[in-house]
Chain A
Amino acid sequence: MKLTLKIWRQKNAEAKGKFVDYQIDGVDGDMSFLEMLDVLNEQLVAKGEDTVEFDHDCREGICGSCSLQINGEPHGPEKLVATCQLHMRSFKDGDTIVIEPFRAKAFPVIKDLVVDRSSFDRIQQSWGYISVNTSGNTIDANTIPVEKEKADASFNAATCIGCGACVAACKNASAMLFTSAKVSQYALLPQGRVEATERVKAMVRQMDEEGFGNCTNTGACEIECPKGISLENIARMNREFLSATTKS
């Protein structure tokens, strides 16, 4: 397969970036998208040029490092996959592929396709946890039974990998799906209810401060989420937030 890649190149956070075209040949359908970029980088090294920087680590769709906007969609055209699980068989010989970093005010570009997602960390640092000491001297794990349905829903929310595709896909660059997934995970469990009021307020406040846009319920986040996190979580967070606000 022969492809044309239009890749965003930007030296550092302050520099002005631009698209650069690259031709790449001998792409195999069994390659992952990132392996295709590896091949490109090998070519660049051979030519003595700077390689294209992109975030990646586990390459099995769980760490949430990879973050490319491929032909206008986060993680590319396939659904329920991260970029590392996208294979080149999804493209045709002669295709032109536009590769951009995730774009949001709260995700400033560090270099080329690498963005700074520490805003996500800060949201979770704002009460994205249960305040329990790690001494291990808590009650026995089976003391409080949890309805299976709720435990499963909590798990489903907790599978978020924090990649930021929701923000990247949203026309408003909103982080509601990400934040609501964390709020939901705890809100659905009895041990998380204790601090639920304060948690949702703190997390939403931090989310707003980071400069993400507002949710306008377009649903792009749910469709582009590699883990299929449901919009239901956003409705739940809205509910949690509104009732928390009336409580205080």
Chain B
Amino acid sequence: MSVLDSKIPEGPLAEKWTNHKNNINLVNPANKRNIDIIVIGTGLAGGSAAATLAELGYNVKTFCYQDSPRRAHSIAAQGGINASKNYQGDGDSDYRLFYDTVKGGDYRSREGNVYRLAEVSGNIIDQCVAQGVPFAREYGGYLDNRSFGGVLVSRTFYAKGQTGQQLLLGAYAAMNRQINRGKIKAYNRHEMMDVVLVGGKARGIIARNMVTGEIERHSGHAVVLASGGYGNVFYLSTNAMGSNVMAAWRAHRRGAYFANPCYTQIHPTCIPVSGDHQSKLTLMSESLRNDGRIWVPKKKEDAEKISKGELKPTQLKEEDRDYYLERRYPAFGNLVPRDVASRAAKERCDAGFGVNKTGQAVFLDFGSAFERYGKEKAYTSGHKDPSKEEILKLGKEVVEAKYGNLFQMYEKITAQNPYETPMMIYPAVHYTMGGLWVDYNLQTTIPGCYSAGEANFSDHGANRLGASALMQGLADGYFVLPYTIGDYLSKDIRTGAIPTDSPEFDAAEKDVTDRINKLMNAGGNHSVDTYHKKLGKIMWDKCGMSRNAEGLKEAIKEIAELREDFWKNVKVPGTADSKNAELEKAGRVADFLELGELFAKDALHREESCGGHFREEYQTEEGEALRDDENFKYVAAWEFAGNPSDAILHKEDLVFKNIELKTRSYK
């Protein structure tokens, strides 16, 4: 077990980043023209990194599996992006954003990285506004903010419920500018199949053209992996159907350590599963918890009646309802952080109080919000003695103005009117805090291989706060990676173009074609989805919202068996030399089948509960998470060694000099 060097610069917290920038090597503009960089993924991190690198003068090639860079799944982020602008004058600062993020992450992230994130957060907003991102504004014409879970200030910038879309289109526009200048060459409908190492350094990739099936070689002086998270290992998640771990996992197999794979965020407010046909889950913005109250019936028989449709939730009297978050966490109530809210919902449903036919749903009720807003509205508009109906009508109007699009989306999916009957929600896999281990420069353990955004492990610790993913993706892409990568590339100014006919490329390409042939010729009779669903079930049941040693051990065994079966019995129809969605899925699921095992191993080894990782053995008497700072205050980075379960653990000890470690309490 070695100790990893995170390369965090010396000096006081607030000066680390500036000092670092002042001291790292740069590449002069004339030399940048001779350096090629490959960027995998075109979401917020990849798109913004590609744009900035090209703008600096490097030759950039981008790769994405979608038909356009604009479709990366960053586009689906709803709520907003945090920045310590303190426009509201409510006492926000870089330090406060830093503090909230470290605390929210349950003290499992690096101080240096998180402070840098807070430091550049304001620049993101400046940058995006200059690019024409239409953030929400107040009547005075200045930017508006909203508040999000787990913090005490209003620092979230937003564009209705489509903030991710607007930010991504901004990064995409910046990319387009560079494509127009010929500095970026975009390879869309291309999937990275492997990373190529020459002399121990990342020097290129093997990609598959998803239209023609051609296997292509691309070389570069550095490779940036911004390929997103691996939530789809659970099959059902709020990720896009194509979101996958292939790029990160291939790099892991070639020597990049994978950090904290077990840290998964389960988002509490998603639309529940409606049946076996379900292919993905839809998130309802966290902002709904500002006004919605979460409850289940107090009596089991009522829950049964409701789930059978014999009793309407609106008929249940106030005293027969259990507002369990308000009961358990009086201080934060319905606004506890995501991990806490999710576990509480699961606890109630497991105990038999679920309210839909699958027993896996709780109510998110706006009844009291209608009443409160209705009264207020009636009062301010001079209505002295409004009737109950009038109050309800006015209240619904206010709620519609605030969350209209979300209510509409809910109704489209469920065919239930959330103004008349409470919404039903259930937690779903949403984000993965784990990922490729990177140092302060965002470099993985493979020299020349960098990772940004959700694909890397940095910044969020064991739990991510709302509206922080967009911030991290853009910070990495616009402001961090383009500078830190120069330090590495400064040694490459005399290298010249990397040839793609070297034995290393030959070998990597052969590996890729062999793997594809193996998938095409497995000759079994089970579809890829069959395996993916089975894997998802193991993951959800045994590595989901709460975990225990026994379940995790079973999971490791079951996943290994499933993987073996997959390679023998999977069936991929069609041919490899044309567009073939089944083949694409097969490659991705094959990697999930390896990652899942490492995930369980990591969860098993971490004998504590922190953030998104809840081990049933480590909880307080009241069922709250029990962290073990003495033994687990480190990043677990895994080195590939053949089988996922044989992975070798490397530790990076987390040092907290500017923040005091405390137990998170939301009581």
Contacts and interface: CB of A to CB of B under 8 A. Distances in A.
B33 interface: no
Contact of B241 (A45, A59, A131, A134): A59
A92 interface: no
B55 A133 contact: yes
A31 B137 CA distance: 38
A62 B412 contact: no
A93 interface: no
Interface in A4-44: 11-12, 28-32, 34-36, 38-39, 41-42, 44
B139 A158 contact: no
Nearest to A81: B412
B131 A130 contact: yes
Nearest to A12: B578
A161 B76 CA distance: 11
A49 B573 contact: yes
A155 interface: yes
Nearest to B572: A45
A83 to B, nearest CB: 12
B201 to A, nearest CB: 27
A233 B568 CA distance: 55
A58 B70 contact: no
A179 B277 CA distance: 37
B172 A124 contact: yes
A137 B127 CA distance: 7
Interface residues of A, number: 82
B277 A57 contact: no
A3 B378 CA distance: 51
Interface string A87-110: 101000000000000000000001
A148 B160 CA distance: 13
Contacts of A78: 412
B534 interface: no
Contacts of B188: 118, 121
Interface string B171-182: 011101101100
Contact of B127 (A29, A64, A138): A138
Interface stretch (A168-176, A185-193, A212-220, A235-243): A185-193
Contact of B126 (A48, A141, A148): A141
Contacts of B66: 57, 63, 65
Given A38-B279, A87-B412, A142-B87, A186 B132 contact: yes
A58 B172 contact: no
Nearest to A112: B579
B645 interface: no
Contacts of A132: 127, 130-131
A62 B162 contact: yes
Contacts of B136: 151, 155
B616 to A, nearest CB: 32
Indicate the member of A57, A130, A141, A186 with the most B CB atoms within 10 Å.
A141
B134 A185 contact: yes
B166 A45 contact: no
Indicate the member of B87, B126, B571 with the most A CB atoms within 10 Å.
B126
B330 interface: no
A191 B127 contact: no
B306 to A, nearest CB: 18
A126 B176 CA distance: 8
Nearest to A134: B52
Given A81-B412, A141-B129, A60 B173 contact: no
A51 B581 contact: yes
B196 interface: no
Interface residues of B, number: 81
A167 to B, nearest CB: 14
A117 B68 contact: yes
Contact of B478 (A34, A117, A136): A136
A134 B48 contact: yes
Interface string B65-106: 011111101011000000001010000000000000000000
Given A49-B573, A132-B130, A133-B55, A60 B579 contact: no
A147 B162 contact: no
B87 A58 contact: no
A111 interface: yes
B408 to A, nearest CB: 8
Interface stretch (B117-125, B386-394, B490-498): B117-125
A74 interface: no
Given A50-B573, A62-B76, A110 B211 contact: yes
Given A136-B126, A148-B138, A62 B479 contact: no
Nearest to B211: A110
Contact of B174 (A126, A129, A186): A129
A114 B579 contact: yes
Given A124-B172, A130-B132, A141-B129, A30 B275 contact: yes
Given A57-B240, A65-B71, A139-B126, A129 B137 contact: no
B141 A111 contact: no
A139 B52 CA distance: 18
B241 A56 contact: yes
Nearest to A39: B277
A125 interface: yes
A38 B279 CA distance: 8
A154 interface: yes
Contact of A57 (B73, B127, B177): B73
Contact of A136 (B123, B169, B179): B123
Nearest to B575: A50
A87 B415 contact: yes
B51 interface: yes
B47 to A, nearest CB: 10
A154 B131 contact: no
B19 to A, nearest CB: 18
B132 A185 contact: yes
Contacts of A130: 130-132, 173
Contact of A110 (B71, B124, B282, B579): B579
B279 A59 contact: yes
A191 B126 contact: no
A124 B173 contact: yes
Contact of A63 (B51, B75, B120, B279): B75
Interface of A: 11-12, 28-32, 34-36, 38-39, 41-42, 44-46, 48-51, 53, 55-65, 78, 81, 85, 87, 89, 110-111, 114, 116-118, 120-121, 124-142, 145-148, 151-152, 154-155, 158-159, 161-162, 185-186, 189, 191-192
18 contacts: A30-B275, A30-B277, A32-B279, A44-B573, A56-B241, A58-B73, A63-B66, A64-B70, A65-B67, A111-B211, A121-B188, A126-B180, A131-B177, A141-B128, A142-B87, A146-B137, A146-B141, A191-B129
- Kindly list the 5 A-B residue pairs having the minimum CB-CB distance in the complex, ordered from nearest: A145-B141, A136-B123, A129-B173, A155-B134, A138-B130
Given A45-B582, A65-B71, A162-B71, 9 more contacts: A30-B274, A31-B275, A87-B413, A126-B180, A129-B177, A136-B126, A141-B128, A189-B134, A191-B132
Interface of B: 48, 51-52, 55, 66-71, 73, 75-76, 85, 87, 120, 123-132, 134-143, 159-160, 162, 165-166, 169, 172-174, 176-177, 179-180, 186, 188, 211, 238, 240-242, 274-275, 277-280, 282-283, 409, 412-413, 415, 478-479, 525, 527, 529, 571, 573-574, 578-582
